[in-house]
Chains A and B, each alone.
Chain A
């Protein structure tokens, strides 16, 4: 940073990343893959003569870095001026977050994990030795599983005195099965879990859940197209919220490439839709005390009873739009429960008949209009009970319409997910089959 300032930069922001990851993979009950990785990188944002550029390198030798920074400053000088590019104001920046431990997401147990332990955790994920006893009406063709642990460390500093650090450990497990039914039709399914605490993941439970989810998919049936009530599993519900959050992002709004660009302060969603950002919850997955500019995050309403309460505006975009900046992006949003149902079973019982969505197969949306179309994986349910899996089903609509039909929200968001979106009910959705 000092070298860049001496070399002509007016202001500088540096982000340093370091990540150490080890992984053991299992295929059909045997260790199939081990990997070890150590990543380091330096990102440097340069503000030079009213111009701006963003650069990165993983060559951290002093001579290489100095050569890189000199080239970067030369590049920035070639660009056109942009008066809105500047560091955040001092009062917006995070303070007192210098050890990285403040969010409470670091487990010192990571220091005790060795190769033997990793192999044991990975092997504990495998049910292959029980294969014959598990095969009831199907054959297990393949079982893949992975255990990994990582430690990441991030420092953000700038030439106006910012210094902020975030440290985090992650322990992750995933199990995936492919099975064949008696007619030779294949079905695949998976389950995963993760935690910043080593004690927070359970390999055996993960594998059994993965197999259960695979077997459940056997004997799918086609459904007639039409309008259905849908229950969306918390495992995949965030897929339907992410485009809404993207539409609240500053770049999308400023470029008019957002179906919510004109809706700040307006009620555009269902009265029952309340979404809050909770980045400061210590020890919760996704907690983060500052954004990429070093701006302090804060608890804030995003959508309050259907009313859009905020856009996500960094210093640059806020300046261009003549608005007050907020934060770069959402951090750890939570959709607040609606009704008394706590889980999927309760939601299905309350709805009676409809489609339970447990996953999506492809699809996309139009950022400007909010129109979407997704492939659906899941089940038809009646009288609150699953009847059969569905096949080749598509859900098509518009996000404003869909979220206006939000009628129930359970309270079962998985702790391992950054976006805390519980299972939920939309009273009506168009299905094509």
Chain B
């Protein structure tokens, strides 16, 4: 959502002359670049538990972060007040990184992205602003979710549904003279259900999240959440642990994109490579996997959690091909790493809030579709595992060792899905796993879950993948 510039200047109580003065103050002790990041976030939430919406709240987070760069070094400070004196003090604190005592705006190594934010090119247009309606308007949606899931399956014992939403006004200004502004919406629904079958208890959690307004709430979303909440419920009660060890892993389309996020995406973030600590640090331009594989990090998917008109450094959101038909073609850059490598930033400079300096982060990371039929991929596996529901993942950047936690899946025996499995961790090595992808399906799905990446700071992301087969990973079991 992009409103008039005057709206943003007014909210933060600033004008363009003051912004310029603050940047000059930030560079008064030296440094080559400075930027300001103003944020005004209004957050609301409602909780349905035990059949009633009895908890709700709203939260306001407001402030400005000021950053000074001297070479690749960062000085950062923030203020929760935009009073002139508070911001000047903040700028002086950020300037502490600089030691040259002489400001030199280095346009040669800092790309400028001039132009005015364009509402017609907005990647998260809003039909119904969250703040335009009272919270009571959202209560029926949560009640409908509760009723529909209970109607679908009598085994529901407890259900918690949480609706949370936010609108974040952002104003950015930097020493290149660029001024950018926009409002970033986000709506999330998370549903946790506890089921009882005899003496056995099982749980399931489902979520949906988009950068959009309150128009996301409606009967189709109720149905989608209910479908997901009771999906494979019988299998969940029958599920066991496989015999652990190395085996072929078929990863279903959609949320299996966590493989890309953990095993590859983090290792492609340029700060790790700039510091030489990524396992892919010396692989640019080299073939790292089959030419069936193209991996993208994309900020242009309309309404996606990872969509960005601008990143948090004012760089336009864009689509970045990291692996082009098997060849490592680009890292994910913020302004610091882009200057280091002598390339343009890729719009991946992101931050959790004004309290943090931006660093290279993923947006929506996915693999493009291949040619294989997903059913044929499964049919080709003699013994292995099929997984398509996940909870979380992690990676060690230097070693490339990654893990992800599988909530549900199936054994594959002689090309057929057999015993349901759940609650197992899978571990592998990023470059090896990438090389071991031997089949890519034709069924790319971008996952709609509420994915959050926690690299130093929490930012919303998403992921996607077509059905793929990894020849060998280590699967937890008994």
Contact = CB atoms under 8 A, between A and B. Distances in A.
Interface stretch (A49-57, A277-285, A287-295): A49-57
Interface string A362-394: 111111110111110000000000000001111
Interface stretch (A2-10, A31-39, A94-102, A409-417): A31-39
A81 B136 CA distance: 13
B285 interface: no
Interface stretch (A68-76, A162-170, A229-237, A307-315): A68-76
B52 interface: yes
Interface in B51-99: 52-63, 72-80, 90, 93-94, 96-97
Interface stretch (B16-24, B175-183, B273-281): B273-281
B478 interface: yes
Contacts of A187: 398-399
A78 B136 contact: yes
Given A40-B80, A188-B397, A394-B244, A361 B427 contact: yes
Contacts of B241: 371, 396
Contacts of A85: 54
B254 interface: no
Given A75-B58, A364-B392, A432-B476, A37 B402 contact: no
Contacts of B62: 57-59
B415 to A, nearest CB: 23
11 contacts: A37-B77, A37-B78, A53-B56, A55-B57, A57-B62, A79-B135, A178-B275, A362-B427, A369-B201, A396-B478, A432-B244
Interface string B392-407: 1110111111111100
Interface string B458-476: 0000000000000000111
A357 B239 CA distance: 28
B150 to A, nearest CB: 15
B427 A142 contact: no
Dominant secondary structure at the A interface? strand
A36 B131 CA distance: 33
A313 B427 CA distance: 37
B60 to A, nearest CB: 4
Given A34-B97, A373-B476, A396-B424, A53 B57 contact: yes
Contacts of B164: none
B134 interface: yes
A27 interface: yes
B55 A53 contact: yes
B162 interface: no
Contacts of B391: 364
A2 B96 CA distance: 42
B392 A362 contact: yes
B414 interface: no
A256 B157 contact: yes
B352 interface: no
A40 B62 CA distance: 11
A68 B244 contact: no
A362 B244 CA distance: 17
A80 interface: yes
A78 B139 contact: yes
Interface string A221-235: 000010000000000
Q: Which 4 A-B pairs have the closest CB atoms?
A: A432-B244, A362-B403, A362-B394, A373-B425
B202 A369 contact: yes
B382 to A, nearest CB: 19
Contact of B403 (A36, A367, A375): A375
A66 interface: no
Contacts of A367: 203
Interface of A: 27, 30-40, 51-59, 68, 71-72, 74-76, 78-82, 85, 115, 141-142, 144, 178, 185-188, 225, 255-257, 261, 320, 361-369, 371-375, 391-397, 430-433
Interface string B290-310: 000000000000000000000
B192 interface: yes
Contacts of B425: 362-364, 373-375, 394, 396
B277 A186 contact: yes
Contacts of A369: 201-202, 423
Instruction: Please indicate which of the listed interface residues B50, B63, B194 has the most CB atoms of chain A within 10 Å of its own CB.
Output: B194
B478 A361 contact: no
B244 A361 contact: no
B75 A186 contact: no
A432 B423 contact: no
Contacts of B77: 35-37
A256 B57 contact: no
Given A56-B59, A58-B60, A365-B423, 6 more contacts: A51-B54, A59-B60, A78-B134, A79-B53, A79-B139, A372-B423
A27 B275 contact: yes
Given A35-B357, A369-B201, A432 B277 contact: no
Contacts of A142: 275-277
A72 B474 contact: no
B160 interface: yes
B245 interface: yes
A213 to B, nearest CB: 13
Nearest to B43: A56
Nearest to B403: A362
Interface in B369-401: 391-394, 396-401
Contact of B394 (A185, A361, A394): A361
Contact of A373 (B262, B400, B405): B405
Contacts of A72: 57-58
A32 B212 CA distance: 38
Given A54-B57, A366-B422, A394-B244, A38 B80 contact: yes
B358 interface: no
A369 B241 CA distance: 13
B213 interface: no
A85 B355 CA distance: 33
Nearest to A74: B134
Contacts of A40: 80
B96 A34 contact: yes
B127 interface: no
A71 B244 contact: no
Contacts of B61: 58
B52 A82 contact: yes
Contact of A430 (B72, B244, B276): B244
A21 to B, nearest CB: 10
A188 B62 CA distance: 37
Instruction: Please indicate which of the listed interface residues B53, B135, B357, B422 has the most CB atoms of chain A within 10 Å of its own CB.
Output: B135
Contact of B53 (A80, A115, A144): A80
B268 to A, nearest CB: 15
Nearest to A71: B58
Contacts of B393: 362
A144 B271 CA distance: 13
Contacts of B158: 255-257
A255 B477 CA distance: 28
Contacts of B428: 392
A394 B398 contact: no
B196 interface: yes
A11 B245 CA distance: 57
Contact of B194 (A68, A257, A362): A257
